[in-house]
Amino acid sequence: MTPLETDFTDRERSKGKRMSKGSIWVASLVVGGLWLGGCNRPGADAPEALPVLTPAPAAADRAAQPRIVILGDSLTAGFGLTREASYPALLQKKLDAAGLGYQVINAGVSGDTSAGGLERLDWSLEGDVRIVIVALGANDGLRGLPLAQLESNLEAIIERAQARGAQAVLAGLKAPSEAGPDYGARFEAIYRKLAQKRRIPLIPSLLEGVAGKPELNQADGIHPNEEGAALVADNVWKILEPVARQAAAGTARSSPQNGPQSQP
């Protein structure tokens, strides 16, 4: 390349660099102007505020809450369902929504009888247990176990729960039709008898509106599906809500920070 050609090439390169820098500077102004114009133009929509979500109670806070223990079998354990779809989990949501600070303990064991519930009662009632829902007896009925044994076990569970200072709630159940009408009638009467004798709230029928309806049960015809479990939770909630509110009010009245209460 000749010196002239070299000089010309160098001048073109220098010119190109100046144009590139100028182009970049102009482009920056244009983009910046467009952005500013878009933000400041009249009638421009303001950025939407992000929704504020109320956090669920932390694990430590939940563990510190007084407990509601539901002592039961596979109906309580949520057989065939996710744990979140079981009726105890749905009751937890109802309590939270109502502002009632309890921790629901699902003490359901598949296949358990009233005798099994009695055997594991002590460790099921560990912690600050305020309410015990006794939902046992379905497997006693399915196996045709002696009714005197069922009554004795249920009463022992209730007595021991009350001795610990907990409010007991009894969930009524019905024996399967295969057990016969006589057995079925005497089976159901046990729950009414114990509720009256021990002066505790009674859930008339845990599976009211669910039992015997294929659309609300799983393929086995015994265990509720998700829709059925939601109805079971409603059955329990009708009785549990006032009991839970009364227990919470009693705790507040007896709290040392509230001072002594005047007597009527």
Residues marked as catalytic: 74, 220, 223
Q: Partners of 67 in the beta sheet?
A: 103, 129
Residue 90 burial (10 A CB sphere; 0-12, 13-18, 19+): buried
The residue count for the chain: 264
Residue 233: strand, helix, or coil: helix
The tokens describing 74, both together, are 């596979």
- Which of these, 116, 119, 171, lies nearest to 139 by C-alpha position? 116
CA angle 35, 36, 38 (to 5 degrees): 65
98, 108 Cβ separation under 8 angstroms: no
